[in-house]
């Protein structure tokens, strides 16, 4: 299957700037770029989806450039509903350094910073060399601008389109870059860059967009409990990532396999059939988790995440490390305690029981485990010295209710 056909089959092409693009993609040899602004100090799973297209194109003989926008990051891409908060130059530089290292470690791409060619441009030259090529009516008709007109849009945000177009032009002139790839919300900015190149050079450049990866309700894919799934394991552990993917929606998991893995058409179609006929086995979900985690963190991290999941499922958590505990039980009800505490009091304080009487019933009924060990003695004392790393005690009530006591 040729690369264009594969991208279409995977659902990775939304808009294309020219009918010639199919042939050019299939022929290979194009330098292209994909960009992101350093608004955070880690890439997230949404970036991963976008950057995988760059790797697919690289494997098909094209040359990728990753632009991390140190200049545009200081301005802020217009959001549909509100203005982005400004971040400091120091924070942008820190974020740039973090994203550059992540991208190079994961993908090996050349990374450039648009601050390098934007920082010395004065306002007069900006207006003369670039501003004159942009018709205000043209800019107002772009979706992202139109959506903000009623709410109001600042000149700073309004100028973002010109800055991104300048990036494409600079890369075209200095890196022989003839194509931009981005998410579908960037279509207006891509076409603005193509138009700028055409007006300044008389030559054609190209671009295409990818559909945004979404959940069944149309919201962006890549968050759990309101938190992003980060590629930095200090922000999102391999175990948390495993749980995120293993709990993917059944009716979307095949789309995610197409977007986020390099499994072949035949392999994905086989998983699709199993997802229909044997959904309880969750073979597609397991394959998704394995492929993504192994690519990002390596096979050892995947195996560790799988082992932790199995320990938690069985309730045999004695071999977990403190780091595992803090990762696995992030977000469960927890309290801090300074002193060793009798089990009934601990259950009430942590929220596992509403009263001492109920706590006693749970303990004598055999439904309470402390650090993986069943506790049936109502005089049992929860001690710091027995905690994971002498820091965290994990209490389980029933099969699925977990609580954590953090010892001071």
Kindly state the percentage of the chain with pLDDT values over 70. Answer: 99
Higher local confidence (pLDDT), 399 or 227 = 399
Is residue 222 within 8 Å of residue 155, measured between CB atoms? no
Is residue 375 within 8 Å of residue 362, measured between CB atoms? no
Q: What is the CA radius of gyration of the chain?
A: 26
pLDDT of 226 higher than 70: no
Q: Give me the pLDDT at residue 404, please.
A: 95
Kindly state the percentage of the chain with pLDDT values over 90. Answer: 70
Higher local confidence (pLDDT), 35 or 226 = 35
Q: How confident is the model at residue 361 (pLDDT cuts 50, 70, 90)?
A: very high
pLDDT of 81 higher than 80: no
Give backbone dihedrals phi and psi of 171, rounded to 5 degrees, phi first: -65, -35
Q: How confident is the model at residue 254 (pLDDT cuts 50, 70, 90)?
A: very high
Higher local confidence (pLDDT), 84 or 199 = 199
Q: Give me the pLDDT at residue 112, please.
A: 96
Distance CA 271, CA 279 (A): 10
pLDDT of 217 higher than 90: no
CA-based nearest residue to 346, from 365, 336, 366 = 336
Mean predicted confidence (pLDDT) in 23-46? 93
* Helix residue ranges per DSSP H, 34-141: 45-59, 72-75, 89-107, 115-118, 123-129, 136-140
Q: How confident is the model at residue 324 (pLDDT cuts 50, 70, 90)?
A: confident
CA-based nearest residue to 246, from 292, 212, 211, 278 = 292
pLDDT of 303 higher than 70: yes
Distance CA 381, CA 341 (A): 5
pLDDT digits (tens, 9 = 90+) for 97-151: 999 999 999 998 999 999 999 999 999 999 999 999 998 888 888 777 777 777 7
Q: How confident is the model at residue 233 (pLDDT cuts 50, 70, 90)?
A: confident
Which residues, in sequence order, are bridge partners of residue 68?
36, 113
Going from the N-terminus, what domains does the chain have, and what CATH number goes with each?
3-210 (3.40.50.620), 223-314 (1.10.240.10), 334-407 (3.10.290.10)
pLDDT of 178 higher than 70: yes
Q: Give me the pLDDT at residue 32, please.
A: 97
Distance CA 326, CA 332 (A): 10
CA-based nearest residue to 297, from 43, 4, 7 = 43
pLDDT, the chain, mean:
91
SS3 346: helix
Q: How confident is the model at residue 326 (pLDDT cuts 50, 70, 90)?
A: confident
SS3 64: strand
Assigned token pair, 345: 């009091």
Q: Give me the pLDDT at residue 224, please.
A: 64
CA-based nearest residue to 186, from 201, 172, 203, 167 = 167
pLDDT of 282 higher than 90: yes
pLDDT digits (tens, 9 = 90+) for 188-210: 899 999 999 999 999 999 999 99
Q: Give me the pLDDT at residue 225, please.
A: 60
Assigned token pair, 351: 């929220």
Cβ contacts of residue 59 below 8 Å, gap of 6+? none
Of 73-87, 152-166, 287-301, the range with the highest mean pLDDT is 287-301
Q: Give me the pLDDT at residue 86, please.
A: 84
The angle at the Cα of 14, spanning 181 to 248, to the nearest 5 degrees, equals 95
Q: Give me the pLDDT at residue 76, please.
A: 81
Given the structure tokens 């089990």, which residue do they identify? 343
């Amino acid at each position: 299957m040729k690369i264009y056909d594969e991208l279409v089959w995977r659902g990775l092409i939304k808009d294309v700037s020219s009918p010639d693009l199919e042939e050019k993609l299939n022929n290979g040899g194009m330098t292209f770029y994909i960009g992101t602004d350093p608004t955070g100090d880690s890439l997230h799973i949404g970036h991963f989806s976008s950057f995988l297209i760059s790797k697919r194109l690289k494997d098909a003989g094209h040359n990728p450039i990753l632009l991390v926008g140190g200049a545009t990051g200081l301005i802020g891409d217009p959001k549909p509903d509100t203005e982005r908060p400004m971040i400091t130059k120091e924070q942008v530089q820190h974020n740039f350094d973090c994203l550059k290292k992540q991208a190079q470690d994961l993908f090996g791409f050349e990374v450039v910073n648009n601050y390098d060619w934007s920082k010395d441009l004065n306002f007069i030259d900006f207006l003369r060399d670039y501003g004159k090529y942009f018709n205000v009516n043209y800019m107002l008709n772009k979706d992202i601008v139109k959506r903000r007109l009623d709410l109001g849009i600042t000149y700073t945000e309004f100028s973002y389109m010109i800055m991104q177009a300048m990036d494409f032009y600079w890369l075209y002139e200095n890196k022989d870059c003839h194509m931009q790839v981005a998410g579908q919300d960037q279509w207006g900015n891509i076409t603005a860059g193509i138009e700028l190149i055409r007006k300044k050079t008389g030559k054609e450049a190209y671009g295409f967009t990818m559909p945004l990866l979404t959940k069944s309700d149309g919201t962006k894919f890549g968050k759990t409990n309101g938190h992003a799934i980060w590629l930095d394991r200090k922000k999102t552990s391999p175990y948390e990532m495993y749980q995120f993917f293993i709990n993917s929606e059944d009716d979307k998991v095949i789309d995610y396999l197409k977007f986020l893995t390099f499994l072949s058409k035949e392999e994905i179609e086989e998983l699709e059939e199993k997802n229909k006929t044997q959904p309880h086995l969750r073979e597609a979900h397991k394959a998704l988790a394995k492929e993504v985690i192994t690519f990002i963190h390596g096979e050892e991290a995947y195996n560790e995440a799988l082992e932790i999941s199995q320990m938690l499922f069985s309730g045999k958590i004695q071999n977990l490390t403190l780091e595992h505990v803090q990762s696995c039980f992030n977000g469960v009800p927890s309290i801090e305690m300074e002193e060793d505490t009798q089990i009934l009091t601990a259950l009430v304080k942590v929220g596992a029981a509403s009263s001492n009487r109920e706590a006693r019933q749970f303990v004598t009924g055999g439904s309470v485990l402390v650090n993986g060990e069943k506790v049936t003695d109502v005089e049992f004392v929860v001690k710091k010295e027995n905690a994971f790393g002498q820091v965290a005690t994990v209490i389980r009530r029933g099969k699925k209710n977990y609580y954590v006591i953090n010892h001071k």
